[in-house]
A and B are shown apart, each in its own frame.
Chain A
C-alpha cells in the first residue's frame, strides 16, 4: 500500500516540475542551474527544487521533444548545457498551464468550501 501512494505523489511532483521548467524557459534559453534558481526565486522561495531531480526531468522533457538542448558557455565562462523551448513545448505549456489552473481553482474551491 505504501509503494502505491509514493508513486502517485512522485508523479504529481513530476508533473508540476515539468510545468515549472517549461514556464521558466519561456524567457529564453537557460542552463539547469539557472532554471533551478529561477523557479526558486520566482516562487518567492516557496518551492524548493531538488537539483538532483531536475536533470532527469529535463532529460524526460527533451526526450518528449518539448525542449531542445545545446552545450554553450555561461555568463561566468563555464561550459553548460542550455535548454530552449520548442514549438511542441510551447503548445504543451499552454495545455498544462490551462489544466493546472483549472485543477488549482477546483482545489481552492473545495478547500474553501470545507473551511466555510
Chain B
C-alpha cells in the first residue's frame, strides 16, 4: 500500500532503455514472422504508440516535486522578468538601495559598537569615567597612582596619554603620534609581543628613565618593511634617542576605536615631549586616558564604582584645594567613554532607524510594484488557473520571481556596501591625525544583508497573494481585470505620501547644508583664510631648549618675510578654526580680590601671537596699536582683546583702551588695542571673548606661522619647505593652506551635507520607484476606462489628468509637507551647519525643482502608456 520511500528513484534513461529494448524485441518477433528489417521496426513503433507520451507519464510519476520543477520555475521566472525590463530594473534598484543603506549602517554599527576590542577578554575591560558632567576620561597622574594603589576591584589599572613627536632619521623629519603608556599598560591589556618584548611595570625607573619604544605592527610594516632586525636599533624622537624594544601583534591598534596608535613610549618619559613635568600636579588632569582595567572575578560593576567613589571621597578630604568631587562610572574604553560613545551611539542609532525606514519604504514600493504587476498579469494568471495549474503552483511561481529580484537586488546592494565600507575604512577624515574608521565588513554584515534581502523578497511577494487566491479564472477571462479593493490602495497611497514627504525633507535638508557650506567658505570669521598658508613647526620636536626658542622663531619669521611674494607673516601658538584644540582662560576685573574660577568676569579664548600676526591672519585692528617686538619679557604686560571682550569687561571698545584686567594668577595686563570679533573653535559657536597675548611675554613651544602671499600655493609650499630646511634640516614642518586646515571646523558641516545628500539621493530613488509603481498601476487598472474616454474624444491633457491626477496630488501634498518639515527642522541643522536656513529662495526653488523632476521622471513611462492606449485594440483584447 505504501510507496517505497527509500528506494532509489528509477532514472528516465533506464526507462528509455527499456522502451528501446521493447522496440527491438518487437522488431525481432515481427522479423520472425517474415517482415523485413526496416518495416518491422516501423511496425513495432506503430504498435507502441507515442514513446514521448510514455516517457512523459513516467516523468510525471517520478518527478512529482523534484528539483526539476524548481529549475523550471527559475527559468520561467527569469523569462518573465526579462520580458518586463522596466519593472525588473526598478525593483532591483529599489531593493539594492535599501540593502546597501542597511548594510553600510549595520557594518559601521557592527564594527564600532558590536565588535569587541581586539584584546583578550574584552568583556571585563572597563574605562574609568571620573565625573558625571564631564564625559572625558582625563585624570591627573597623582590621582591615577592613588586609584591604582588603593582600589580593590581591578586586576590592574593602566593609563596613557597621546602626544605628537618628530621622528628623525638622518635627513628626514616626520611627525608621529606617540601613545605614552604606564609600565603596566600591555600587561593589564594582556598583549604579548609579536617581536622583542613590551614594556612592563618593572621598567619604570623614574622620570625620563627608560628610553625604550614599542612599535605598532602598522608602523613596523610601513616604516621598516617588517624587518625583524629593528629590535635594538635607535629611533630619534624629538631628537632624544629611543631604543626599539618590541613590536605589538597585528590586530592591536590601541584601545580607542578610531585612533591608530603608532608608537608606544613610557609615560614617565613624557616630559621630553611635553616640555613640562606634571607628575606632581594633582590639580592638572593631563592624562588623556585616565585609567582602565579588568574587573577582578566576582566583583560587580556597582561594587567597583562604590570602591572608586570611596577613594575619591578620601582624596577630596586630603586635598580639598586640588580635587573636585568624583562620581565614577564604568565605560567601554573603545569609544573613549561617553565622550565619543554617546554621540556615536546616538548617530548610528538614528542612522539605523533611517535605514530601517528606507527598507520599509522600499518594501512598500516593491509590494505595490508587484501588486501592479499581478493585476497586469491577472489575465495570464487566470489563464493558467483555467488550464489546470494549481493555485499553489502559481503562487510558487510568483515567489520565485520575487526571490530572484530579492537576490539580485540584495547582491548588488551588498556589493555596493562592501565597496563603500572599504572606502570608509581607508578614509582619513583629518589628515593630521592617525584616525580612521575600521569598518571593514565581516560575515555578520553579509549574513544580515542577504537575510534582509530574502526576508523582504518574501514580504513583497506576499502582497499580491490574496489577489491570486481570489482570482476567478472564469470571471477574469470573461470580464477583464476587476477593481482592486479601496482600503488596500488607501494604505499604499498614505505610505507613498509619507515617503515623498521624507524625501522632500531630506532634499531640503541637504540643500540647506550645501548652501550653508558654500556660505561658510566665503564667510568672514575675523580671519581671512584665502591666500594664507600655515606652517606648523614644533621646536620641541627639533630639540630646542625653551630658552633658545624665541630667537629661532624670530629667525624663521625674518627668513620667510624676506621671501619674494610674501606680504605678511606672523606666529601664533594655535590657529583659529584649525584642527588643534583651542585654549581659554578665566579673566578677572582689575579690582577683583577673589579669583576663583566661579568669580570670573569672562572665560576668554587665548591666542599667543607675534607682531605681524594680525596682518598675516587678516584680523582687523579696530583701536589702539598692534603688538611690537618691544613687548618682550622685560616690558609691561599688554594684550589685544576682541570687541566682545572689551564690551563684556569694560562696556565698549573705546572704554577698554588703556584699561587693565587680571589673569587667575594675578598677572595685571593692559589693553593695548581692540581687534574685530571672530570665530575661534567652531563656526557655529556663539561669539566668544578673546585676548591676544604677545608670544615674547608668554613663550610657547608649539607655534604656527601664518604666511600671507598671493603666490601660487603649490610653489609657495615648496619654497617654504626649502627655506625651513636651510634654517634647520631636522625641523619637522607641516605646510598647508589655511582653507585645508579648516577641514576640522568644516568637518561636521561636510559630514552633515554629504550624509544628508546621500540620504536625499536614496529618498529620491525610493520616491521615484514608489511614484512609478503607483502611476503604472493606476494606468494599468484603468486602461479600459481610459480607452473609453479616448474613444469618446478626450484630449491627451484630459486623459492624463484622469489617469495621473491622484498621483500628482499625492506628490504635491508630500512635497509641501516635506518642505514645511524642513523649515521646522532648521534649528537642528543650525547646530551643525553655519547659518543654515531653509527660508532661502534658492533652497525652496531647488526643492520644488527636484521634486518636480522626480515626479516627471517617474510618471513619464506611465503617461506614455496611457496616451498609447488604442481603444480599438482594447475592445478586441477584452
Is there an interface contact between A55 and B19, defined as CB atoms closer than 8 Å?
yes
Task: Decide if A78 is an interface residue (CB 8 Å cutoff).
Answer: yes
Given A33-B22, A55-B15, A63-B3, is A78 in contact with B28 using a C-beta cutoff of 8 Å? yes
In angstroms, Cα B30 to Cα A76, docked, is 13
Q: Does A59 contact B (CB under 8 A)?
A: yes
Partner of A80 from B2, B4, B25 at Cβ < 8 Å: B25
Give the one of A37, A51, A64 with max B CB within 10 A.
Answer: A51
A59 touches B15 (CB 8 A): yes
Please give the distance in Å from B800's CB to the nearest CB on chain A: 47
Indicate if the CB atoms of A55 and B26 lie closer than 8 Å. no
A79 engages B21 (CB within 8 Å): yes
B57 interface residue per 8 A CB criterion: yes
Please report whether the interface of chain A is mostly helix, strand, loop or mixed according to DSSP: helix
In contact, A51 and B61 (Cβ under 8 angstroms): no
Complexed CA–CA distance, A81 and B58 (Å): 16
CA distance A51 to B51 in the complex (A): 9
Most chain B C-beta atoms within 10 Å of own C-beta, residue among A56, A62, A81: A56
Which of A31, A55, A76 has the most C-beta atoms of chain B within 10 angstroms of its own C-beta? A55
With the chains together, A78 CA to B24 CA distance in Å?
Answer: 8
Are the C-beta atoms of A52 and B54 separated by less than 8 Å? yes
Alpha-carbon distance between A31 and B58 when the two chains are bound, in angstroms: 18
Say which residue of A37, A55, A56, A81 sits within 8 Å of B29 (CB atoms). A37
List CB contacts (< 8 Å) of A31-70 with chain B. 31-34, 37, 50-53, 55-56, 59-60, 62-65
For window 2-50 of B, CB contacts with A under 8 Å fall at: 2-4, 10, 15, 17-19, 21-22, 24-26, 28-29, 47-50
Known: A56-B61, A76-B28, A78-B28. A31 touches B54 (CB 8 A): no
Question: Please, which residue of chain A has its CB at the minimum distance from the CB of B56?
Answer: A56
**Is A78 touching B58 in the complex (CB atoms < 8 A)?**
no
Query: Is A74 at the interface (CB under 8 A from chain B)?
Result: yes
Tell me whether B522 is interfacial, beta carbon within 8 Å: no
Do residues B50 and A52 form an inter-chain contact, with CB atoms below 8 A? yes
Give the distance in Å from the alpha carbon of A37 to the alpha carbon of B33 in the complex: 14
Considering the complex, give the chain A residue whose CB is closest to the CB of B48: A51
B466, CB-defined interface residue at 8 Å: no
Closest-CB distance, B614 to chain A (whole angstroms)? 100
How far is A34 from B21 in the complex, measured between Cα atoms in Å?
12
* Residues in A whose Cβ lies below 8 Å from that of B58: 55-56, 59
Would B26 and A33 count as touching, CB distance under 8 A?
Answer: yes
- The answer on a CB contact under 8 Å between A63 and B54 is no
Q: Is the CB of A32 within 8 A of B15?
A: no
Answer whether A78 and B54 are a contact pair too, CB < 8 Å, given A51-B48, A55-B15, A59-B61.
Answer: no
Confirm or deny: B53 has a beta carbon within 8 angstroms of a beta carbon on chain A. yes
Task: Give the complex CA separation of A63 and B48 in angstroms.
Answer: 22
Contact A53 B25 (CB under 8 A): no
* Residues A51 and B21 in contact, CB atoms below 8 Å apart: no
Chain B residues contacting A60 (CB-CB under 8 Å) are: 61
Smallest CB–CB gap between B55 and chain A, Å? Answer: 9
Q: A62 to chain B: which residues have CB within 8 Å?
A: 10
Would you call A53 and B54 a contact (CB within 8 A)? Answer: yes
* B22 A51 Cβ-Cβ under 8 A: yes
Smallest CB separation, A64 vs chain B (Å) = 7
A63 touches B4 (CB 8 A): yes
Question: Do residues A51 and B26 form an inter-chain contact, with CB atoms below 8 A?
Answer: yes
- Our pick among B3, B22, B25, B28 for the contact of A55 (Cβ within 8 Å) is B22
Indicate which residue in A31, A52, A59, A64 contacts B53 across the interface (CB closer than 8 Å): A52
* Distance (whole angstroms) from the CB of A10 to the closest CB of chain B: 11
When distances are taken between beta carbons in the complex, the residues of chain B under 8 Å from A76 are 25, 28
Given contacts A33-B22, A78-B28, is CB(A50)–CB(B10) below 8 Å?
A: no
> Are A53 and B49 CB-contacts (below 8 A) given A33-B26, A79-B21, A81-B18?
yes
Q: How far is the CB of B42 from chain A (nearest CB, A)?
A: 14
Chain A residues closer than 8 Å to B51, beta-carbon distance: 52
Q: How far is the CA of A55 from the CA of B22 in the complex (A)?
A: 10
A43 to B18, CA, bound (A): 25
Identity of the chain B residue whose Cβ is nearest the Cβ of A65 in the assembled complex: B4
> Considering the chains assembled together, what is the distance between the CA atoms of A33 and B4 in angstroms?
26
Complex alpha-carbon distance, A56 and B54, angstroms:
6
Q: How long is the Cα–Cα vector from A79 to B10 in the complex, in angstroms? A: 17
B25 with A31: CB separation less than 8 A: yes
User: Distance (Å) between the CB of B27 and the closest chain A CB?
Assistant: 10
| Residue numbers in A under 8 Å from B61 (CB-CB) | 56, 59-60, 63
Proximity bits, B140-152, A CB within 8 Å = 1, else 0: 0000000000000
What CA separation (Å) do A62 and B61 show in the bound complex?
12
Asked if B21 and A80 make an inter-chain contact with CB atoms under 8 angstroms apart, the answer reads yes
B residues near A79, Cβ cutoff 8 Å: 17, 21
Q: For A63, list chain B residues within 8 Å (CB).
A: 3-4, 61
Question: When chains A and B are docked, how far (Å) is the Cα of A60 from the Cα of B3?
Answer: 10
Chain B 806-822, CB within 8 Å of chain A: the 1/0 string?
A: 00000000000000000
**Distance in Å: Cβ of B341 to nearest Cβ of chain A:** 67
> Please, how many angstroms separate the alpha-carbon atoms of A64 and B3 in the complex?
5
* Binary CB contact string for chain A from 57 to 99 against chain B (1 if under 8 A, 0 otherwise): 0011011110000000010101111000000000000000000
**Bound-state Cα–Cα, A39 to B54, Å:** 19
- CB-nearest residue of chain B relative to A49? B47
Instruction: List A residues 20-35 near B (Cβ within 8 Å).
Output: 31-34
Chain B hits for A51, CB < 8 A: 22, 26, 47-49
Query: Min CB distance, A85 to chain B, in Å?
Result: 16
Closest Cβ of chain A to B44, distance in Å, is 8
Q: Determine which residue in A33, A55, A64, A81 has the highest number of CB atoms from chain B within 10 A of its CB, and name it.
A: A33
Minimal beta-carbon separation of A6 from chain B (angstroms): 14
Q: Which residues of A contact B21 (CB under 8 A)?
A: 31-33, 78-81
Set of chain A residues within 8 Å of B3, measured between Cβ atoms: 63-65
What's the minimum C-beta distance from B62 to chain A, rounded to whole angstroms?
Answer: 8
Distance in angstroms from B632 CB to nearest chain A CB is: 109
Which residue on A lies nearest to B26, using beta carbons?
A: A33
> In whole angstroms, how far apart are the Cα atoms of A63 and B18 in the complex?
16
Chain B residues contacting A34 (CB-CB under 8 Å) are 25
CB distance from A18 to the nearest CB of B (A): 14
Interface pair A55/B18, CB less than 8 Å apart:
yes
A102 to chain B, nearest CB (A): 21
Inter-chain CA distance A32–B54, complex, in Å, is: 14
CA–CA, A55 and B51, complex, Å: 10
CB distance from A53 to the nearest CB of B (A): 7
Q: Bound state CA distance, A61 and B2, in angstroms?
A: 12
CB-CB < 8 A to B49: which residues of A? 50-53
How many Å lie between the Cα of A55 and that of B17 in the bound state?
A: 12
Most chain B CB within a 10 A radius of its CB, from A32, A50, A52, A76:
A52
The chain A residue with its CB closest to the CB of B32 is A76
- A59 to B56 Cα, complex, angstroms: 12
Residues of B within 8 A of A78 (CB): 21, 24-25, 28
Determine the chain A residues whose CB is within 8 A of the CB of B29 once the complex forms: 33, 37
The winner among B1, B21, B53, B61 for most chain A CB atoms within 10 A is B21
Q: Is B25 within 8 A of A33, CB to CB?
A: yes
Which A-chain residue is minimally distant from B18 (CB atoms)? Answer: A81
Min CB–CB distance A22 → chain B (angstroms): 15
- Residues on A with beta carbons closer than 8 Å to the beta carbon of B50: 52
CB distance from B813 to the nearest CB of A (A): 54
B767 to chain A minimum Cβ distance, whole angstroms, is 50
A43 to B26, CA, bound (A): 19
Known pairs A37-B29, A52-B48; A32 contacts B10 (CB<8 A): no
Query: A80 — which chain B residues lie within 8 A by C-beta?
Result: 18, 21-22, 25
A59 to B29, CA, bound (A): 23
Would you list 10 pairs from A and B whose C-beta atoms are within 8 A, ordered by A residue? A32-B18, A50-B48, A51-B26, A55-B58, A56-B57, A56-B58, A59-B61, A59-B62, A65-B3, A78-B28
Given A50-B47, A51-B47, A64-B1, 7 new contacts (CB under 8 A): A31-B22, A50-B48, A51-B22, A55-B58, A56-B58, A59-B61, A63-B3
Chain B interface residues toward A at CB < 8 A: 1-4, 10, 15, 17-19, 21-22, 24-26, 28-29, 47-51, 53-54, 57-58, 61-62
Closest 8 CB pairs of A and B: A52-B49, A33-B25, A51-B48, A56-B57, A52-B54, A81-B18, A80-B21, A52-B48
